[in-house]
Amino acid sequence: MRTPLVAGNWKMNKTVREALELVGGLNTQLAGIEGVDVVICPPFTALADVGRALAGSALELGAQDLHWESRGAYTGEISAPMLWDLGCTYVIVGHSERRRGPGESDEDVQRKVAASLANELIPILCVGESLEEREAGRTERIVQTQARVGTLNVEPDQAASLVVAYEPVWAIGTGQPATGAEANRIAGLLRQWLHEWFGDRAGQIRILYGGSVTPETFGEFAGQPEIDGALVGGASLDAAAFAAIVQAFAGRVG
């Protein structure tokens, strides 16, 4: 059985002071929440302070990225052991803004997934097509390739620790999410492919939807049988909005 998961990706937002104010609101809004896992992914600068503020709550700490090496001459990077040492349990890997901006390849993402699992971090592997790829009829090919290459170094007994987030690039930050039916269709294909690669263990892999998830749109996704939660961007910066999305998935075990 899969417990729903809702992860908040704060991206490059919130100073430490602002982050602690938001966490205070989230701790209040989500006090006693059950039946759903909740992950907060602040910027690197706030990880330590946010981690301390989450101590004793039901909310877990995640990071927005990592490097695949454990240490070395990689200026500006942060490693899996560093994140683990700060109390992180999750890490976002392969977000479209990392693929598009710094130009991360599928192979880079593959190494990051492996590094996460090797250091007891749960990777949230992001996959999704651009508008151009969608209009060219390449959605399935792009999503399958990103998922396959990203998980090539994952052993079958590690598969249950994976989280996959379908985030159509054309929907992120546009206010125009995919329909619930379309997101569910892609999630179903992902589950089918994951089963081909990992067998029955794939049944434990949680598949999230990400892309302009708001309190106004979340209901359409929470009711889809193949969607196990959400990767939330802008709405995660508002305690009440994020709490509403979390509560929509609470108790819905797939």
The catalytic position among 60, 167, 220, 226 is: 167
Give catalytic status of residue 120 as yes or no: no
Q: How far is CA 247 from the centre of its chain?
A: 17
Inform me whether the pLDDT recorded for 240 exceeds 80. yes
pLDDT in tens, 35-81: 999 999 999 999 999 999 999 999 999 999 999 999 999 999 999 99
Q: Assign 252 a pLDDT band (cuts: 50, 70, 90).
A: low
Largest Cα–Cα distance of the chain, in whole Å? 48
Number of residues that this document lists for the chain:
254
Q: Can you tell me whether residue 131 is helix, strand or coil?
A: helix
Report pLDDT for 251.
65
Cβ–Cβ under 8 Å, residues 33 and 249? no
Report pLDDT for 233.
94
Cβ–Cβ under 8 Å, residues 230 and 210? yes
The CATH classification of domain 5-240, taken from the options 3.20.20.70, 3.90.950.10, 3.40.50.300, 3.40.1280.10 = 3.20.20.70
Where are the domains positioned within the chain? 5-240
Beta-bridge mates of residue 164: 125, 207
pLDDT: is 134 or 253 the higher one? 134
CA distance 12 to 203: 33
Show the tokens assigned to 3. 């417990």
pTM above 0.85, yes or no: yes
Q: For the packed helices 16-29 and 239-249, what is the interaxial angle rounded to 10 degrees?
A: 40
Q: Assign 171 a pLDDT band (cuts: 50, 70, 90).
A: confident
Give catalytic status of residue 95 as yes or no: yes
Q: Assign 34 a pLDDT band (cuts: 50, 70, 90).
A: very high
The catalytic position among 95, 97, 129, 226 is: 95
Q: Can you tell me whether residue 252 is helix, strand or coil?
A: coil
Report pLDDT for 253.
55
pLDDT in tens, 94-147: 999 999 999 999 999 999 999 999 999 999 999 999 989 998 999 999 999 999
CA distance 105 to 87: 28
Q: Tell me 176's DSSP state.
A: -
